[in-house]
Amino acid sequence: MESPELSFTLAYVALSVCFVFTPNEFRSAGLTVQNLFQSWLGSEDVGFIQYHVRRTSVTLLVHSALPLGYYLGMSLAAPEKELLSVLQVDGVWRAFLLLSLCLHLSSWMLVLYWSLSSWSNHPISRALRAHVRPALPGWGAVATSINTEFRRIDKFATGPPAARVIVTDGWVLKVSTYHIHLALQSECHVTVTQSRQHQFSPDLASPTEILTLRVESINPSVGGFSISVNSSEYADLRDKLRAPIRNSANVVIHQTMSELFLETFRAQIDLNPPYRVPGGQEMESCIGCMQTPANTKLLRLCTAADSEDSECEQCFCRPMWCLSCLGRWFASRQDQQRPETWLSSRVPCPTCRAKFCVLDICPVR
Ligand SMILES: [Zn+2]
Ligand SMILES: [Zn+2]
Ligand SMILES: [Zn+2]
């Protein structure tokens, strides 16, 4: 493949992937289906369900047109191929064109089928129909109930547009690219199934823990689905959910920045060389918590003892603190707005005020 074609192909693939999965940069530039078709989609606050029925349909049509766009773009990028004179074009390109056309046309047919009798065939309408009951006769009534509750300002909402989680007084909703999953709060149980921790790292501004929760409904016609929330939002979610949250896998949930930091801190200290107590003497209990034996010793290890270019100082205190207390002390002396600087900063020893960094903390063995 010659270079203009190759560069066009690479650029198109990259743009398409970004358009479909919309990273933050694309979203802030307004290159999303929601933004481009804003005037037709209307307002999410006025009619939440109607908005998403339209949004998912448009998204399907736009995404299915991407291969066709590639073909048209290539006909401009490589005019010598004469891709626009469809009858003369060679076999591979003709097959590609046919497949792209089929894909796009079938999406149109699917969307037309969905739209019959005021969108009653759309997957969202079908999901609504599963919740029809005497109190909510007809899927229109279910849609109205969700629309009304979505307008209230005290709803819980979080997550990126492709996996948004919304909890209203009566409903748990997950908005994804092509669908909305819904469950009635009074009918569902929620289980924490997993927690993923993203440690302190240079490219991540703050440590995060993402919890995965499984929402299952006792209504057999409503399928279960998983939602993801940040552990710092877990308390708000729990307040809004009236269903009890079970913790099946005994997942430990760290709700504050300091708790999250402690995990990273502990892992970092484990890498440092251990300090052997002379004569194998018993350790006194930590003077911070009086619960566990002191198990940390500060030694200036980050730079050679005679070098002058480090701000760290030698601490001559005996081991007095346990790792958790020292970690909490370390976190409490940091700029709470800039957690990315925490691991690389220096704090004074809690007893003698000699400055130390994480490399200077030795586990006592
Ligand atoms: Zn302690
Ligand atoms: Zn000290
Ligand atoms: Zn140091």
Instruction: Identify which ligand lies nearest to the alpha carbon of 288.
Output: 1
Cα 305 to ligand 3 centroid, rounded to whole Å: 10
What per-residue confidence (pLDDT) applies to 307? 62
Residue 171's H or E segment, with its range, is strand 171-176
**Cα–Cα nearest to 180, from 158, 160, 159, 165:** 165
Query: Of 129-133, 172-176, 204-208, 301-305, which gets the smallest average pLDDT?
Result: 204-208
354 C-alpha to ligand 2 centroid (Å): 6
- How many angstroms separate the CA atoms of 164 and 162, rounded? 6
Predicted local confidence at residue 133, as pLDDT: 87
C-alpha 117/C-alpha 133 separation (Å) is: 21
Please name which of 194, 173, 179, 187 lies closest in space to residue 221, comparing C-alpha atoms: 187
289 alpha carbon – ligand 1 mean position (Å):
4
Check residue 22 and give its pLDDT.
Answer: 81
Ligand nearest to the CA of 294: 1
Query: Residue 308 pLDDT more than 70?
Result: no
For residue 143, what is the enclosing H or E element?
helix 139-151
pTM above 0.75, yes or no: no
Ligand 2 centroid – CA 280 distance (Å): 21
- The Å distance, Cα 31 to ligand 2 centre, comes to 55
Q: How far is CA 336 from the centre of its chain?
A: 22
pLDDT in tens, 187-213: 888 988 888 877 654 555 566 788 899
Handedness of CA 106, 111, 113, 114 (dihedral sign): positive
The DSSP-derived string for 202-254 is TTBSS-EEEEEEEEEESSTTS--EEEEEEGGGHHHHHHH--SPEEETT-----
Q: Which ligand gives the minimal distance to the CA of 313?
A: 3
Domains in the chain: ranges and CATH = 3-125 (no CATH), 152-255 (2.30.29), 258-363 (no CATH)
List the one residue out of 121, 122, 144 whose CA is nearest residue 59.
Answer: 122
At residue 224 the predicted structure's pLDDT band, cuts being 50, 70 and 90, is: very high
Beta-carbon contacts of residue 307 (< 8 Å; ≥ 6 apart)? none
265 C-alpha vs ligand 3 centroid, how far in Å?
Answer: 15
Percentage of the residues of the chain whose pLDDT score is greater than 70: 94
Instruction: Compute the distance from residue 348 Cα to the ligand 2 centre, in Å.
Output: 8
Q: Which of 120-124, 190-194, 292-296, 300-304 is predicted least confidently?
A: 300-304
4 confidence band (pLDDT: 50, 70, 90): confident
What SS3 class is residue 347? strand
Mean pLDDT of 224-251: 84
d(C-alpha 123, C-alpha 130), whole Å: 11
